[in-house]
Each structure stands twice: as structure tokens, then as C-alpha cells.
Chains A and B, each alone.
Chain A
Amino acid sequence: MKKEKKQRELTFFDIPKNRNMVVRLLYAVLTILLIIDLFIHRHGDFHWEESPEFFAVYGFVACVALVFVAKVLRIIVERKEDYYD
């Protein structure tokens, strides 16, 4: 009984303040990465690899594109769970 009560308490991620802290931490890391990138010399096999912040832009765009294409794909291929029965 005691154990169950303990488990029902709010834990780390249930508290909005903690969640916001994690998100702010992410923003901080992103900013640091963007700044460092300006100061390092890049070598790449393609010329666009050498332009600053290329990977940041590509990572973001790729992920957004992925989700939007997946949404379109879902319209085409989605079926009910008992479709094959």
C-alpha cells in the first residue's frame, strides 16, 4: 500500500518546471553548437560541407520533411488493425 502511494507521486517529468528546464538546456546546447561551428575550419569532400551551419540546417529541414512526408504516406497506406483478417 505504501509502495503504491509512493509510485503515484509526481516524478521528475510530471512537473512542468523540470520539463521547461530540459527544453531550455536543449536550446543552450544548440546555441553553443552554432557558435562553435563559426570558429572551426571544416574539411569536406563536397563544398557545401565546408559552409558554416550546413549540418544544422540540413538536420532540421530533413526532420521536418520526414514528418510531413510520413503524414502524406499515412493517408495512403493507413488501414484498420483488422484489415487483413
Chain B
Amino acid sequence: MIENVPLGAIFIIGALFVPFLKGKIKSSYILFLPVLAFITLLNMPDGTHWVFGFLDYNLILVRVDKLSRLFGYIFIIWAFLALLYSIHLKDKVQQTAALIYSGSALGIVFSGDLFSLYIFWEVLAISSTMLIWARRGRESIRAGFRYLLVHAVGGLSLLAGIVIYVAETGSPEFGYIGLSGVASYLIFLGFCLNTAVIPLHFWVPDAYPEATVEGAIFLSVFTTKTGVYVLARTFPGTELLAWLGAIMTAFPIFYAVISNDIRRVLAYSLLNQVGFMVCGIGLGTALAINGAVSHAFCNILFEGLLFMATGAVLYMTGKSNCTDLGGLYKTMPITCGLCLIGALSIGGFPLFSGFISESMTITASAKESLPIMWFILQFSAVGVLHHASIKIPFFTFFSEDSGIRTEEPPFNMLLAMSIAAFLSIFIGIYPDVLYRILPYPVDYEPYTLDHVIGKLQLLFFGVLAFCLLIFSGYYPPEKRTINLDMDWLLYRKPVQYGLPALQFIFGGIASIMGRIFTESAPRVLANFVSNPRPKTDRLLSPMGVSVLTAIAFISILSAVFFLL
């Protein structure tokens, strides 16, 4: 057996055989791939493997250290669960795309140089678009195109940055870059776009709710978390990132409260969660980085679990709007219970995984003596509870009975959700399992009495506020509307007004050019090919005289030259 195979290759090459398989063989083959990758990673020693020379540079396909190993584990675990969740699919396009997508995410995590990173980066963008298009509705096709264009821009920025960076430093090493110079800003922009850092976050709530039920499970994890990973490698300790992250935790919450589509609410909560990670990376201390990375690990499980539960509701009922749902606990009690576990985890209740990871970043901001950031993060921590822990289960499974009568989703979906729920609780109770594999040694104890009581107070009084607002009718009612986000400001409106302006400018240029090339220029050019007017004595015309003079002059000159 070949040793230390690039894990991305297991998925990407493995995916190519999926179209030729059928039925149970296909299912077992698909689930076998992540298991194989996991065993390979367990046996892979730290260091770099699979190094190739390319031009003057070294391409490193496998670089294993604590950070990449951690992300590798969770990505493979999640790929397994998401594939299990979607194993009933007959749509081979989706399964192939999902495998390639997971593989390219792993490829990025284990890349040791910027060139291979870039190639996987583009594969990631294209394969994830397929998961949106696979829903095949009109809205999905359009959202997919917007998603692809946004990522194409990000990818180009990254490529330009990498080219300049390599030309300046002479090395394509994928390590700490830090903000200084044009190249680093271009790379930063490309990375931030994939991480959905504000104000480049708009593609998440735009595209993810339009993806297929199964596609959203993959999407919710791989693109933004590879973004977190690359930022943690290249820009730790960047102050700008810390503040953008803090704003990113708070800003989406307001949108989540007034969004109607539960999958859109989740997309906003995803942004809020990634905000905690980005903020931790920006703070850059050992505690903060540990917090960011461990939160990524836990978040993949519980956020994914919530996407699975809402996806199961969409799969069974065909509906995902708060206004259409309600009272589903009667017919989907197991899904409801699993969704509540995800909700409690994301809210950060003690004994659930959110508690042990989210608080690390908040504590890190306090250790850095940043009171404003601390207040924003605490606000966001209780805001998560509000929209993700309460709003999603409440309007889906409880609230007023919508009259929908359905059944539990297929067994494979329930099994995938149960495993994710189990892991969320397990890590919440035994945080040391996770703390042991973090990049820095952990000197942090989440379960102290004052921390637990403080967190419970924060959360339960948030619940009280929700209840009182609902009872008194002050809570904003769910409406069949959409809300404008940054995409309106950044490209939708500019294009709407910009297009006529561009049409005017380029249309004007085109008509002037048209006139020059179709009328004026041919008229002038025609002079050169038209028949000359007949002349009686050509030699004595002005042209003839000048030609004769020139010949005479050249003869005299050559005579002088040769004779002397």
C-alpha cells in the first residue's frame, strides 16, 4: 500500500468511480472512502510528504502538523456523517460533487504550498456550486451563478496575491503571511471572502438556503471552515481580523431574527459562529487560537446537526419557512429531540459542546483587556441562543400547529443526526478529548462554578426575554418577505444602475467606432485601390518628376561611393 496518500486524492479520485456504481455497492463504496481516509490520517506521521519539484519551487501535497491534523479529523468525520445522511440519494451528480468538494477541502488543509492550495481552492468553488445547482429550480440556478461569480472574483484576487507574493519572497510556502504589502492584502481578501468575513458574507445567506437538502450539509461546513483554517495559518494576530470577527458575531443576529426561511436563519447563525472563530484568530494568543480552532471543531458538529434537522423537515414537508411550519413535534419527535440537542449545543449550555469552545474566545478577549469586544461577544453569545436555540426549534416544531402531518425522515438521516448529537454531548462532557489535540497546550477549565452559573444566568434570562416578548406581542411576527443584505449594496444595486450607464458609455464608443470602421476608414482606404485616372504623359506628372529626381540622385551618390 502506498504510504501517506494525500487525503484529498482519496476522495477526489474515489469520486470518479461513483457514476459507474449502483445500489448497495455504491452506498458502501461511498461510506468506505472517509473510513479509508481516517485510517490513513491516523497512521500518518507529522511532517511533509509527497513533495514535487515544479519550475523552481517545491509543491508539498501533504503537510501534517497539529493544526492540519485537527481539521483533517473533523472534516473526515463530517464527510462521513454528511455522506451517510445523503446515502439514499439516487442523484449521482450530487454524490460525486460532494465527494470532490470534501476532497478539495482536505486538499487545502494538507497543502504545504500556495500553488497546490490554489488549485484545490478552485476545485472547491466549482464542486460546491454543483451542490447548489443540483436542486435544479430556477432560484437555485440563479443563486448558483451568483455564488460562482463571487467565488471567481475571490479566487482571482487570491491568485494575483499568490503570484505577487511568490515573486516578492521567492517561496510559495503556505505559512504565516501577515498584513503588509499589496500581495498580502490580495490574499487576505481572497481568504476572507471564503470565510464570509463581513462585509463579504452576503453569499452565504444568498446561496446556502437555495442548495439541495443534502448539499447544504456539506456546504455549511467545508467552505467557511477551510477559510478559518487558512486564516489561522496565514493571518493569526491580525487586529483588523479580531474586530471584523467581533462585528461578524453580532451583525447577522439581527438578520436572523427577522428572516423567515429557517435555513436562512441558520445561514446567519453560521456567520455568527464563524465570527467567533475569526475573532479568536485575530486576537492571536494561544488561548484565542485554541478557542477558534476548537470552536470550529464543535461548530461543525452542532451547526451541521441543525442543518441536518432543518433539511430533514424540508425533505419531508417541502417547506422551510417559519410561516408555513409549526407543531411538527407531534409527528417528528426524534428529529425534534435531535434538533434541540443541536440548539442547546450552539447556545452554549453547560454539558454541550458549544459551552467549552465558545467561552475560550470570549475569555481571550478579556485577557487582552478589550472590554468593548468582550461586550459584543457576550451579546452575540446570548443572541445565538435567541435565534438558533429558540427561534429554529420553536417555529419549526412548536409554535402554532400548522396542520402539517408528516413522518420521521429515512433511517440514514436519523442515524447521521444521532451520531452528530452524540458527539456534541460527548465533547461537552469530556472536553479534554478535544483539548488534547488542539495546536497549543490548554490551560483552561470551562467547568468552574462561577462560569457555569454566569452562563446559565445569561442564557435563561435571554429565554425569559424571548418568552415575555412573545407573550406581549412585541416579538417581530414572521412574515413572507426577504431582507436586503450587503449584496444589494455591493453588486445588485450598482449593477442595476451601472448597467444602463455602462451601456451608454460603451454603446457610444461602439457607435463612434462603428462609424469609423464601416464608413470613414473604408472611404479613405478605397483611394489606395481605386483605378488611377488615365494620364497622357506620366513621366512629366509631378509624381514622375520626383521619382526621376530621386533615381538620379541615388545614381550620383552610388557613382561617387564606388569610384572614390
Contact = CB atoms under 8 A, between A and B. Distances in A.
B480 A81 contact: yes
Contacts of B366: 44-46, 49
Interface centre among A4, A41, A63, A71 (most CB of B within 10 A): A63
B257 interface: yes
Interface of B: 253-255, 257-258, 329-331, 363, 366-367, 369, 371, 374, 378-379, 382-383, 386, 398, 401, 405, 448-450, 453-467, 469, 474-476, 479-485, 492
Contacts of A36: 453
A66 B479 CA distance: 18
Interface string A45-85: 11001000111111110111011011101100111110110
Contacts, number: 140
Given A14-B401, A59-B461, A63-B462, A73 B258 contact: yes
Given A13-B398, A36-B453, A71-B476, A63 B461 contact: yes
Contacts of A13: 329, 398
Given A7-B330, A80-B481, A73 B255 contact: yes
B379 A42 contact: no
A83 B482 contact: yes
Given A64-B465, A70-B254, A58 B405 contact: no
A42 B469 contact: no
A66 B386 contact: yes
6 contacts: A33-B457, A36-B453, A45-B363, A57-B461, A70-B257, A78-B481
Contacts of A26: 460, 463-464, 467
A43 interface: yes
Contacts of A83: 482, 484
| Closest CB pairs A-B (n = 8) | A63-B465, A45-B366, A59-B461, A59-B458, A70-B257, A55-B457, A60-B461, A56-B457
A59 B465 contact: yes
A83 B330 CA distance: 35
A62 B405 contact: no
A56 B465 CA distance: 11
Nearest to B399: A13
B378 A62 contact: yes
Given A26-B467, A66-B254, A81-B481, A58 B458 contact: yes
Given A60-B461, A66-B254, A71-B476, A55 B454 contact: yes
A59 B492 contact: no
Interface centre among A26, A56, A83 (most CB of B within 10 A): A56
B453 A63 contact: no
B207 to A, nearest CB: 13
